[in-house]
Structure formats: C-alpha cells, structure tokens
Amino acid sequence: MGNWLRSALAVAAKDIRLELRSKTSLLSGTVFAALVLLIFNFARDPTGLSALDLAPSALWVTYAFASIVTLNRGFAVERENAALDGLLLAPLPRGALYLGKYFANFVFVAFIEAVTLPLFVLFFNLDLSTSWWGIMLVAILATAGFLAAGTVFSAMVIRTSFAELMLPVLLLPFMVPPLMAAAESTAHLLGGRPLSEVMGWLRFLALYDLAFVTLCGMTFSFVVDE
C-alpha cells in the first residue's frame, strides 16, 4: 500500500515539476479563465440581471472550462519520446498512475481557480468575507468531481484525431452533477446562507467524488494498457 501511494505521488510530483518548467498550461489556463469571466461580465445587461444572480453560474462555467483546458494537457506530455511506454513498462499499478495524474491535474486547476477567484470578486463586486471558505470547500469538492472522469477521458482522447474536441463531448455530461451542486451551493453561500444549509450538496459532491475516483481508478488499466 505504501509503495502504491509512493508511486502515485512520484507520478504527480513529476507532472508538477514538468509543468513548472514550461508553465504553458498554467498560464494559458489562467488567461482563458480570466477571459471567460470578463466575457460574462460584458455580456450581461446590468439593469436586467444583478451581478449576484449571474455570479455563481459565471464562476462555475469558468471553472469547468478551465478544468477542460487543463485536462487536455494531461497525457499530451507523455507522448514525447514515448514516455507513456516508459511508465507502462514499470511495475506501476495503473490505479496509481491514474491517481498521480489526477492529483497533478487537481493542483493545476486549483491554482487557476485560486488566481481567478479575486478577479471574480472584483468583476462581480462581491463580498466574500463570510463565505470565502465555504466557497473554497465547494470548489475543492466540485473540482475533484470534474477531474475524476476527466483524467480517464483525457487518456482516451489522446488516441483520437480531434482530442480537444472529443474531450468535452465525452466529459460534459459527467460534469453536470458536480456543476449543478457547485452552482447551487455557491448561490446559497453568496446569498449569505450558512454552510449548514448546503451540507446536502456537499455530501452529494463527496459521494460523487468517491464513487467516480474509485471506479475510474479501477477501469484505468483498460484505457492505458493494450
């Protein structure tokens, strides 16, 4: 068990180190997310829809797309010099490979979300003083949900011709339950409701995360192994 976890962490550390060298995915993901938020702000009629009404949807659509953009990078990096073969040759449990990739993806998306949140507060003129940590909790759970099936699909679509197009086609239905839960919870929290009122949604998210990470880890071998 210790070895298993160590392998997963080694894979995650390797991915994080790689990304920190080139920074391409982090930078483009952050810029993308900022632009999406900007567009939401410009595209609404300030007299028609209040900032508070639009804010949760804007935030979560942004975060969802940022996740997709980041996921696309996940296995692309293993194509150079057939690095994926190097991983598969090793006595690396495929579930550990999945978890390592998943964790690295999570770190990247968390970074993008953290950087974008102040922009969100700024653009939509919000006060997060009481609700920020509740929103952070929602963000952690929902992002974990986005990336669960996302990591599996990103490994699959690498083998297809239109990888960047295929990933959203496959993934979006899977993103809807966590997206719905996140948007609802965020709306409640932004409206000043206490965290206890969104516990149902948080439990839902936690269950979703657990169920999908487990099943995805178990089926990952069928995706990467011949």
| Residues of the shown chain interacting with other proteins in the complex, contacts defined by CB under 8 A | 3, 6-7, 10, 14, 17-18, 21-22, 77, 80-83, 85-94, 149, 152-153, 156-157, 159-162, 166, 169-170, 172-174, 176-177, 180-181, 184, 200, 204, 208, 211-212, 215-216, 219, 221-223, 225-226
Closest approach, Cβ 157 to other proteins, in A, equals 8
Map tokens 């192994």 to a residue. Answer: 225
Residue (94 or 101) nearer to other proteins, CB: 94
Residue (42 or 162) nearer to other proteins, CB: 162
Closest approach, Cβ 89 to other proteins, in A, equals 5
Closest approach, Cβ 104 to other proteins, in A, equals 13
| 106 close to 67: Cβ distance less than 8 angstroms | no
In this structure, how many other beta carbons lie within 10 angstroms of the beta carbon of residue 161? Answer: 7
Residue (117 or 178) nearer to other proteins, CB: 178
Please name which of 157, 184, 193 lies closest in space to residue 55, comparing C-alpha atoms. Answer: 184
Mention every residue, 6+ apart, whose C-beta is less than 8 A from residue 153: 71, 166, 167, 170, 171
Rounded distance, CA 154 to CA 160, Å? 10
